[in-house]
Structure 1
Amino acid sequence: MCGITGIFHTEGLKPVDPDRVSRMCAVAAHRGPDGQGVWTAPGVGLGHLRLAIIDLAGSPQPMASADGAAMLVFNGEIYNFRELRRELQAEGATFRTDGDSEVILAAWQRWGVDCLQRLNGMFAFALYDLRQRTLLLARDRLGVKPLHMATLSDGSVIFGSELKQLLAHPSLRREIDPLAVEDYLAWGFVPDTRSILKGVEKLPAGHYRLLRHDAPPPPSVQWWDVSFERRERGSEADLGAHLLHHLREAVTSRMVADVPLGAFLSGGVDSSSVVALMAEASPEPVKTCTIGFDVRTLDETEYAGRIAAQYGTEHHQRIVGADDFALVDTLAAMFDEPFADASALPTYRVSQLAREHVTVALSGDGADEAFAGYRRQTFQHREEQVRGLFPAALRRPLLGTLGAVYPKLDWAPRPLRAKTTLLSLAASGEEGYARALAVTGPELRASLYSDEFRRLRGAYRAEQPFVALMQGAPAQSGLDKAQYADLKFYLPGDILTKVDRTSMAVSLEAREPLLDHRLIEFGAALPERMRVRGATGKWLMKQAMRRYLPEDILFRPKMGFVTPIAAWLRGPLAGEARRVVSGGTLARTGWFDTAHLAALTEAHIAGTSDHSRLIWQLLMLERSLALLG
């Protein structure tokens, strides 16, 4: 795991100042405490920060190919590099190191961009070919590793693992994109389709871009996608055996490291499955790390402790207290752009704990997206069945009217909170799922904005690209489309961004075995009844893991990595919430109806409504705007 950055001139071979590349490295030093390197040539400069994991002494970067004709900076891990190395050696390639970086260089020289299809791993890299004078920027299939880019006024392209590296370049304009603010208010993060700053892009997952010195930057090219169009056939026993094989392969391939390795353990199905399979494959006790809360209803340490005891792990545990709200500024600085997933706080804390004992930690992220483990996915599955019973011409006016007048009963038992369900059923499946994923729905967002911001936003709505993504999904059903959208939109934008920034902030490599692309492709082909049965998601995975995990771990209600944000905003953060909506940086933008924001904040503090997610969004937005200047 590392950090990369660089500068590439698309208008000639102007020299690149190595000190500038070095400064772009330095601002992300946390990503690579084990070494920094810079290489420049006419028209190009590459920078690298190294966190040494494999071949600790022998693979410094930027790295040249064996013949000196290509240079690489690489962030990530290639899990099948030894197999590729043997194949390339059989075809005449020679190697000077024992790591995976040199394999990428040889694979490029043998197969060109087709080398990407052969790489099994998580990666973002920049590879400069001195003969062709081209720069290949590439990102892994699911978007585990990030890559930001911007084209400057002089025709140069700058890139980096984190936005702060681009911000270190003096020519980057710091102009906020109002459409990104609309996106952020909808989802709680700025998706990979946009950046908080105009002119900054994120290379999409499963895409590459090939730059030349004598041509403007071309569009990105998609080199991988997941399809839900086919269905695996077989009995539950046969499919379960295949799934378990893929799970074992995914976990064991990610246990290769020349440094201490462990796992995050929450006590849920996914992380418990990873730990169980690690314990099966490891001759030594697995090192596990768990974070709990001092609010009992949010604490899962009991379940994590049971799994740790069952598998005899070397278990480490820490409790997050109510005073951890003081990390707000630390979190904002990690993400560079606004990010409101409050589970970033415990993810950061568990990363800190893990780094005290290991350098690499396996996580359980990805199974919910791959096997339909989110409650919203099971709801979508049932709602699509209901939509099929009524024509849209009847559903929209009837249920839409009911949804509009039905009160928003945050305080009521869940069965009485029908407003969102009615509005969702009135819409198309794609529009309904957008509502299910949204933190702040379109009606509430519209009520928050000032007239000036409505003018800046124009006709754009955050749901539009999301709905288009679902409509164009290679899928057979509404459940397929929902999972596809989660894999392509929510996973890279929220989950993987959260894990990358919080783990790298403490120089920890996080690996996601449940995002092995072979496992993802197998899950996408499972019949719906192998994914969802009634209200139970991840059906086949839970059946396959019954030999490893207790029933109450497999089938207890999903909790997620939640935090006591609502209580904090009624207690120690109440004053800060009032300041943000009335007189802080956010209020001075002129984007919002501050009187309305103040009323919502007071209602939350008084306990008559729960607006904690919105207020937290606003607080994190203000912190990010202050950092961006």
Structure 2
Amino acid sequence: MCGIAGFINGRGDAQSPVLQAMLARIAHRGPDGQGIFVDGPAALGHRRLAIIDLDGGPQPMFNEDGRLAVVFNGEIYNYRELTAELTDSGHVFATRSDTEVLLHGWEQWGPELLPRLRGMFAFALWDRDTRQLFCARDAFGIKPLYYYRADDGTLLFASEIKAFLDHPSFEKQLNERQLELYLSFQYSPGEETFFTGVKKLLPGHWLRFDGTTLQTGAWWQTAFTPEVSPTHWPEAIDAVLQDSVAAHKIADAEVAGFLSGGVDSSYLAALARPGRCYTIGYAEPGYDEAIEAARLAGTLGIENRVRRITPTEFWDAIPAVQYHMDEPLADAAAVALYFLNETASREVKVCLSGEGADEFFGGYNIYKDPFTVRWYDRLPAGLRRVVGSVAERLPAIPGVNFLVRRARPLDQRYYGTTALLTERQKRRLLRRYQGIVQPRDLARPCWQASAGLDPVTRMQTCDLQLWLPGDILLKADKMSMAHSLELRVPFLDREVFALARRLPAEVKADAQRTKKALRTAAARHLPAASAQRKKRGFPVPVRDWLRDPRYAARVEAAFRSPAAARFFDTDRLHTLLRRHLRRRQDNWRQIFCIYCFLVWYEQFFGRDAA
């Protein structure tokens, strides 16, 4: 696990001091070493967090004749098998590092190497003979990679956007159009970013640059193919997860785990049996999962460390969280992850975490929707639209969200689990609303790709392509690497997905339960209460803390800032906050979303930002 950065200069040879400055920005991703390589216009840099082959894996790494150079962020879990196969084909390995597989694999197979890789990765490979750069990102988007084409022809790439800030060809400009999407998604969705010209290399995609022409394309297509078969799904799930956990434990350093009260992390802990695990807790009992986690850890014989977060710590950490995220993120769980990773990093370098189980196995509570109150969907569509339009203007009370949500067919309304502000609400709040790109525009390809499948699988497709890489995995990467910790996600494995994509709808969700087959599989290793515990997400008491004058004052100050006045109708912002404080409406998510954007903006575009 590391950080990479580099560029192909558009005019003249690359300069190593520029690369050094880029790497300094992301030093937190790899405190164990730094490597640079400059070859004419090309500059490749690497910050290392040593996990495998502690002494023999420095990067950039080269093939036997020095023609190929690679910098790599991630882990290849089947590197031993690939090493044996490539050795049999005549390749000579100089290290025990998984990085070297990329070099010899590229020599042997070229781009066909990518579907052979089992792991998480973002890498950049420079061919000194053809003068071409090739980059690739793993299938599910576990590891991030950004790129930017400057006006002078220079191409920049890095694990984090902030690495671009020190390159003289980079022009830092706000992409204000992304704000409208963010206010609906709570994260920055799709290929675009909040920085003009900076793009994400999408999950399962490659990039090729020859100094003139920039090309990108997909090497992987994520698709569910539910089937009707006599397969005993829980048994099959348990077998493939045991194999994945074993692969994800390969390391030359201790592998610990994260543990909440939910089934996902509990199941992984039961399979992996790490020596210790880490849990977040709060003083507020309605949000605290530490007691449940400690009880399970005792049952499994695992040492449990609990980090309880105070509200003051939470609010104080938000600027650092937004800085490390690179783009604004209004997922309060990111702050909890920030502290969880900080605590773990004091003792270990690697932790297992449960991201991906909900998207693969049907875990979100909203997946119950197609099975509930079905009579309402049989009402005339026009009537439901009228009721929904009226409900949209009402305070957020139980039942109102249901009426708004069910006013339109699923494929016209669903773009993720956390739909925040509607277009009508954004039009009222924003000073410069354009509505050129709307959430459903980003979701449309997902719905087209899943045409003919059941509603749960179609929602999974949407979440797998938007929510998972845009929020879940991005905060997992950025919050772990902020503290130089490697986070491994055994659910997000190619072999696990090969099974999960085949699951029929009836073993995923119904009106009462989610992750039905996964829970049955987990019950083979867990107490029944742990296997069947309802989905809670990663609860954080922001709703309550926002009603405390000490923390409401921070938000109120942000809402009075010049940045707030630039982007928003500040009178409406204060109305949102006032109604929440007086308990007339539950507006915490909208308030927190706007507040996080304003904090992020000050980090990167404020008066003293650099």
Q: TM-score range by the shorter chain?
A: over 0.9
Alignment-mate amino acid for residue 115 of structure 1: L
- 1:226–1:521: 8 Å Cα contact kept in structure 2? no
How far apart, in 2, do the equivalents of 1:607 and 1:474 lie? 42
Q: 1:348 aligns with which of 322, 338, 353?
A: 338
Does residue 154 of structure 2 align to residue 183 of structure 1? no
Is the partner of 2:147 in helix, strand or coil?
Answer: strand
SS in 1 for 2:239: helix
Structure 1 residues 41-52: aligned runs within 5 Å: 41-52=39-50
Which of 213, 217, 230 lines up with 1:216 in the alignment?
213
2:286 is paired with a residue whose SS is helix
Alignment of 1:421-436 (within 5 A): 421-434=402-415, 436=417
Amino acid in structure 2 at the alignment position of 1:360: V
Q: Within 1, Cα distance between the matches of 2:371 and 2:415?
A: 14
Distance 1:363 1:401 in 2: 43
| Residue in 1 that maps onto 2:230 | 234
RMSD: 1.8
CA distance in 2 between counterparts of 1:199 and 1:402 reads: 41
Kept in 2: contact 1:186–1:462 (CA 8 A): yes
Match of 2:325 in 1: 335
Give the drift of 1:548. 1.2
Per the alignment, residue 378 of structure 1 pairs with 368
Q: Deviations over 1:183-218 (max 9, x none)?
A: 1111111013210011000000000011112x3212
> Is the 8 Å Cα contact of residues 342 and 565 (structure 1) preserved in structure 2?
yes
Deviates more, 1:154-163 or 1:417-426: 417-426
The correspondence of residues 48-197 of structure 1 with structure 2, limited to 5 A, is 48-197=46-195
- Relative distance call for 1:256 and 1:474 in structure 2 (3 A) is farther
How far 1:56 sits from its partner (Å)? 0.3
Conserved 8 A contact 2:415-2:462: no
Aligned partner letter, 1:377? Y
> What secondary structure does 1:513 align onto?
coil
**Equivalent residue number for residue 621 of structure 1:** 597
Contact 1:148/1:159 (8 A) holds in 2:
yes
1:132 Cα deviation from its structure 2 partner: 2.1
Partner of 1:75, secondary structure, is strand
Counterpart code for 2:213: P
User: For residues 390-539 of structure 1, what are the structure 2 equivalents within 5 Å?
Assistant: 394-395=380-381, 397-406=382-391, 412=397, 417-434=398-415, 436-450=417-431, 453-454=432-433, 457-473=434-450, 476-539=453-516
How many residues align? The count is: 603
Offset of residue 474 of structure 1:
6.4
SS in 2 for 1:506: coil
Counterpart of 1:306 in structure 2 is: 295
Contact 2:519 2:531 in 1 (8 A): yes
Give the structure 2 partner of residue 601 of structure 1: 577
| Gap regions ≥5 residues in structure 2 | 606-610
| 2:587 alignment counterpart | 611
Percent identity (aligned): 34
Q: Structure 1 residues 232, 208: CA separation in 2 closer, same or farther (over 3 Å shift)?
A: farther
- Cα displacement string for residues 526-559 of structure 1 (whole angstroms, at most 9, x for unaligned residues): 1100111332110001111112112222223211
The 3 A distance-change label for structure 1 pair 300 and 143 is same
Shift of 1:74: 0.2
Q: 1:273-312 residue pairs with structure 2 within 5 A? A: 273-279=267-273, 286-312=275-301
Three-state SS of the structure 2 residue aligned to 1:515 is coil
1:569-584 correspondence runs (5 A)? 569-571=546-548, 572-581=550-559, 583-584=560-561
**Kept in 2: contact 1:291–1:350 (CA 8 A):** yes
2:248 maps to 1:257: no
Tell me the SS of whatever aligns to 1:296. coil
CA distance in 1, matches of 2:177, 2:213: 25
Mean Cα displacement is larger for which, 202-211 or 311-320? 311-320
Task: Give distance in 1, aligned partners of 2:435 and 2:425.
Answer: 17
* Residue range with higher mean Cα deviation, 168-177 or 611-620: 168-177
Distance in 1 of aligned mates of 2:487 and 2:37: 27
Give, in whole Å, the separation in 2 of the partners of 1:419 and 1:624. 31
The aligned counterpart of 2:316 is: 326
Q: Does the Cα contact within 8 Å between 1:406 and 1:418 map onto a contact in 2?
A: no
1:269 is aligned to 263
Provide closer, same or farther for how the CA distance between residues 208 and 38 of structure 1 changes in structure 2, counting only shifts above 3 A: same
Q: Is the 8 A contact 1:227 1:475 kept in 2?
A: no
CA–CA distance in 2 between the matches of 1:96 and 1:201?
A: 35
Given that residues 388 and 406 in structure 2 are in contact (C-alpha distance below 8 angstroms), is that contact kept between their aligned partners in structure 1? no
Alpha-carbon distance between aligned partners in 2 of 1:567 and 1:163, rounded to the nearest angstrom = 33
**Are 1:192 and 1:203, in contact at CA under 8 Å, matched by a contact in 2?**
no
Following superposition, the deviation at residue 407 of structure 1 comes to: 6.8
Quick one: distance in 2 between partners of 1:243 and 1:28? 38
Query: Which residue does the alignment assign to 1:315?
Result: 304
Quote the Cα distance in structure 1 between the aligned partners of 2:164 and 2:228: 44
8 Å CA contact 1:286–1:313 kept in 2: the answer is: yes
1:225 aligns with 2:221: yes
Q: CA deviation at 1:29?
A: 0.4
Specify the SS of the correspondent of 1:570: coil
In the alignment, is the contact (CA less than 8 A) between 1:124 and 1:139 conserved in 2?
yes
1:282 alignment partner in structure 2 = none
**Does structure 1 residue 360 correspond to structure 2 residue 354?**
no
Using the alignment, how far apart are the partners of 2:20 and 2:271 within structure 1?
Answer: 41
8 A Cα contact 2:255 2:349, kept in partner? yes
Q: 1:361 offset after TM fit, Å?
A: 0.1
Whether the 8 Å contact between 2:154 and 2:169 is mirrored in structure 1 is no
Counterparts in 2 of 1:464 and 1:515: CA distance versus 1, 3 Å = same
1:129 Cα deviation from its structure 2 partner: 1.2
Instruction: Give the secondary structure class of the aligned counterpart of 1:190.
Output: coil
**Bigger shift: residues 312-321 or 203-212:** 312-321
Is the 8 Å Cα contact of residues 585 and 626 (structure 1) preserved in structure 2? no
Instruction: Determine the C-alpha separation between the residues in 2 that align with 1:168 and 1:535.
Output: 52
Shift of the 472–94 alpha-carbon distance from structure 1 to 2, 3 Å rule, reads same
Change (3 A) 1:133 1:475: farther
Alignment equivalent of 2:32, drawn from 25, 31, 34: 34
Aligned mates of 1:270, 1:164 — CA distance in 2: 32
Counterpart amino acid of residue 96 in structure 2: D
The Cα of 1:275 is off from its aligned counterpart by: 0.3
Q: Distance in 1 between matches of 2:586 and 2:360?
A: 31
Q: CA deviation at 1:303?
A: 1.2
Deviation per CA, 1:563-606: give whole Å up to 9, x if none: 1112222212111211222x2143232x2211111111111122
**Alpha-carbon distance change, 226 to 411 in structure 1, aligned in 2, over 3 angstroms:** closer
SS in 1 for 2:510: coil
Q: Which of 604-613 and 425-434 deviates more?
A: 425-434
In structure 1, the residue matched to 2:608 is none
Instruction: Work out whether residues 76 and 98 of structure 2, in 8 Å CA contact, stay in contact via their aligned partners in 1.
Output: yes
SS at match of 1:36: strand
Pairwise CA distance, 1:55: 0.3
Specify the SS of the correspondent of 1:437: coil
SS in 1 for 2:130: coil
